[in-house]
Structure 1
Amino acid sequence: MADGAVIENLSTRKLLGILAALGLAQAAFFAVGAFFAPVPSSSMDFEMVKCADQTKGAAGHWFHLRPPRCDLIESLATYTPSSFDLREIVFIAQMPHARNNLQLEYSPWFQFLLGLVHVEVEYSDVFKYVPGAKLMLEVRMGVRTRESAPDAWEEYADVNVTRTLDCTIDPSKKSEGNFYTCDTLDLFELGSNNYPFYLLNVRIPIDTEACRRDPVATPNCQIGKINELHVVAIHQNGGFTAVWLWLKTLLCPIVIAACYWFNRRLSLLPRPRLLLEKAILALGMVLVLLDAPLEWLSLVARLPCLLLLSDLRQGLFYTVLFSFWLIFAGEHLIDDPQLNNLSAYRINLSLVAVASLALLVYDMAERGMQLADPFYSVWSSEWGATVAYISIYVALACTLAYFVFLFYKIVVVWNSIRRKRAAHLYRTSENRRLKFLMLFTLLCSALTIAAYFMRQFGEASLHGDSADDSILTHSTSAFFTGTFGMWNIYVLLLIAMYAPSHKQYQGAHGLIDENEDLMSGEERGTESNPLTTFLKPAQD
């Protein structure tokens, strides 16, 4: 622990006052999410309308519903294409919906737009579905501003998308008119939402000659009888974005001021900074980066990189926070001869580094590539899926090993506190404050882990078959705002508690070995504090 820190000189009355204020602040963060923020995300379902295009895309026209430009196909079962190449059938989705003759709009407040596609496959004895069939879609995405004409669509992307179609059917339902149960597929993901209107034109091309030569390797040869395509569009709610941004805008300058104050206090000390002090300052600086309300820029400019940038900021904060917990626990083991030495934590910190690097590789492979192609998915290729699985499993293994070691470290610290208290080497007030910080650290780590896995599980659910059942589309706003507030409270508390107390230790000039200090205290009959290395007043 830092010698001469505020925590050593804080009276019990002041500590209780601080705890009461922090408890009220924490309750306020939960209340904001519970009463003022809507659910984090919402979705819209679109049954894609089918249009006939005799030119098979050669004319380059856009097909849309509002205003109508579509030779409508009522049902694929009654439609007879001119050839086996189904490119003359165009599936369209115009987003968002019109409701009560009013055209809805997407807003930059929605932050991101995730598109999923569900393929409805009908059982057929003629057009048989083969498990693991490759589905290729020719997709054009158009965008339109509010000022543009209703039919003036600007091309945003024109790509071929290949996905693996995984479907199952009960053996008792293998008859005409029954349908397979197919997994939902990722279609696109936009890192910002700067257009009010989007249009999808999707075709399913079939190369009959290639299908005869190699039906397994050629896409769309074994997909069965396609009946319908459905698109699910998921976006972040604007109300949740507003609450989140205002929280960041409020907290960011407070944390900046606290870091400046803490750094200034450290710079006035006539000694080198301790490892724990450096770790607290580093944690405060990454919290400033996390709190920075950069999302305000997305409301006035198109920033497709914002979603990736948010992930990188979040990942950096987790990395520094997990590293800090190891240092925080280790620096309170006063019998450890490796105190104030970063190299003593190299093995433990390597777990954090490897896990962070693995997740960075996955994030760059997924969202990094989506900056150039919003329809890209790392899971769409065998090589990409292998990289993704390796990254996730390595990160998971390192994270589990880290938390086992962190729990062990905190238990050792707790036992050390009990031994020192039994030996009357701790003052009662110091023992109480240190126990409080350790308990708060355990609470913070538990909620951080829960928030991390809730977010990861929620995002995975958004990409799965149960997007509407994802925790991100339910009332979890209070948990996320509460956890975000707790991080800020925790870091501000550390800064306040471990800031040098110059009122009592002005003129201190050196570090004295704690055993020597304990002996000199006994010789003079004064109370000493062996919890930390102690700064003695300068002698005349």
Structure 2
Amino acid sequence: MVWFWNRVHILNRTPALLEYMLMSLGATLAFLNLPLEYLTLSFEMSYMLILSDIRQGVFYAMLLSFWLVFAGEHMLIQDHGEKNSLKLYWKHLSTIVVGCFCLLIFDLCERGVQLVNPFYSIWVTPIGTNLALSFIILAGISASIYFIFLCYMIWKVFRNISLKRAVLPSMSQARRLHYEGIIYRFNFLMLATVICAAVTVISFILSQVSEGQSKWDENMELELSSALHTGVYGMWNVYICAMLMLYAPSHKQWPDDPICNDGEEVEFSRLPTEGTANEISSLTSFAAKTSMD
């Protein structure tokens, strides 16, 4: 994170929206990775369960928000003046905030009350059982709908990029190789995003079902090993570290003019100047260009 932010501040411009989102996502993951449980060896921390749930909930909210912004920034349906603004995603992000708030209320009804009465459970009454089941079912449905919507956004991104790739043969060799590398890396990250999102949604649903299965049906056979949880946490760390490394601003030099005719000289300029594209916005600027005859 320190290396990434230093690379961002080398550029003579304000950080882009995706760079802010990446730093926020890395910060929430670092907070989730902190071994706060060791403090219970020296301090009485009866609120550790609810603190762990809140840490994981904050990370989930940031991860889901990042995926929407990451795909939305490359859908390229807005004008240049409207890009790079979090206000464009208020409808998408508001649904995540509402869903996380509902899960927080559900968690407070269980973990929060247990701070006063350790033997309390929301499952002991018929109303509480129905309420808990409703929250779990709605959370699973919401996670599935989110994954489908994210796949739809990523499909639109792939379609837009494939349509714009017809411009590549008209470019100079240096600029064409530059954009081909960016597109290849972007396709890899998008596929990794789909896999990471699918595993995250599946693990979330399984964890919710596993937590409550003993409450509503003792005959359900669902076993989750620690390998699943450890694997998901490791996947998050590898994915976010890869995003920080691959989307760090580049110090390389590329041609100013992306389209060059044969025989023309190519002038190079450094990317870290005001108004020039960086590694994140290069693909966006490429796909926003109009097709050439």
TM-score class, shorter: 0.7 to 0.9
Report the Cα offset of residue 394 of structure 1: 4.7
Compute the displacement of 1:443 (Å): 0.8
State the Cα distance separating 1:381 from its structure 2 match. 3.9
Deviations 1:384-427 (A, max 9, x none): 45654554455445434322321110110111121122332763
TM-score of the superposition, structure 2-length normalised?
A: 0.79
Summarize the Cα distance change of 1:489–1:360 in structure 2 as closer, same or farther, 3 Å threshold: same
Q: Corresponding residue for 2:195?
A: 443
In angstroms, what is the RMSD of aligned CA positions? 2.7
Residue 326 of structure 1 and its aligned partner are, at CA, apart by: 0.4
Name whichever structure is richer in helix by fraction: 2
Q: Which moved more, 1:377-386 or 1:426-435?
A: 377-386
Amino acid at match of 1:308: I
Change over 3 Å in CA distance of 1:327–1:507 after alignment to 2? closer
Residue 273 (structure 2) aligned to one of 500, 509, 519: 509
Contact 2:183 2:283 in 1 (8 A): no
Residue number in structure 2 paired with 1:408:
152
C-alpha distance after superposition, 1:60-116 (max 9, x if no partner):
xxxxxxxxxxxxxxxxxxxxxxxxxxxxxxxxxxxxxxxxxxxxxxxxxxxxxxxxx
Contact 1:462 1:470 in 2 (8 A): no
The CA deviation string for residues 239-283 of structure 1, in whole angstroms up to 9 with x for no partner, is xxxxxxxxxxxxxxxxxxxx1222222233211111111111110
- The whole-number CA distance in structure 1 between the counterparts of 2:117 and 2:181 is 59
Q: Distance in 2 between matches of 1:462 and 1:383?
A: 17
CA contact (8 A) 1:276 1:328 kept: yes
Letter in 1 for 2:42: V
Equivalent residue for 2:143? 399
3-state SS of paired residue (1:511): coil
Percent identical among aligned pairs is 39
Contact 2:136/2:208, CA 8 A, preserved across alignment = no
Alignment partner for residue 423 of structure 1, among 163, 167, 171? 167
Q: CA deviation at 1:503?
A: 5.2
Aligned-partner residue type, residue 311 of structure 1: D
SS at match of 1:373: coil
* Match among 473, 483, 488 for residue 232 of structure 2: 483
Contact 2:122–2:128 (8 Å) recurs in 1: yes
Name stretches of at least 5 consecutive residues in structure 1 with no aligned partner.
1-258, 515-528, 535-540
Which structure features the higher share of strand residues?
Answer: 1
Taking the TM superposition and a 5 Å limit, the aligned residue runs for 1:133-212 are none
The yes-or-no answer on 1:453 pairing with 2:205 is yes
Given the superposition, is the C-alpha separation of residues 400 and 351 from structure 1 closer, same or farther in structure 2, using an over 3 Å criterion?
farther
Q: How does 1:319-330 map to 2 (within 5 A)?
A: 319-330=61-72
Match of 1:311 in 2: 53
How far residue 453 of structure 1 moved from its aligned partner, in angstroms, is 1.5
Task: Give ranges in structure 2 of 5+ residues lacking alignment.
Answer: 254-268, 287-293
User: Out of 77, 85, 94, which is 1:350 matched to?
Assistant: 94
Q: One-letter code of the match for 2:242?
A: L
- The 8 Å contact of residues 144 and 201 in structure 2, kept in 1 or not, is answered as no
CA separation of 1:463 and 1:351: change in aligned 2, threshold 3 A: same
- Within a 5 Å distance, the mapping from 1:516-527 to structure 2 comes to none
Aligned to 1:378: 122
Distance 1:411 1:432, change over 3 A: same
SS at match of 2:284: coil
Distance 1:454 1:396 in 2: 9
For residues 506 and 530 of structure 1, the distance between their equivalents in structure 2, rounded to whole angstroms, comes to 13
TM-score (norm 1): 0.44
**Alignment: residue pair count:** 259
Between the aligned partners of 1:442 and 1:507, the Cα distance in structure 2 is 30
Of structures 1 and 2, the larger Rg is shown by: 1
Q: Mark the CA change 1:479 to 1:387 in structure 2 (over 3 Å): closer, same or farther.
A: closer
Alignment of 1:334 onto 2:91: no
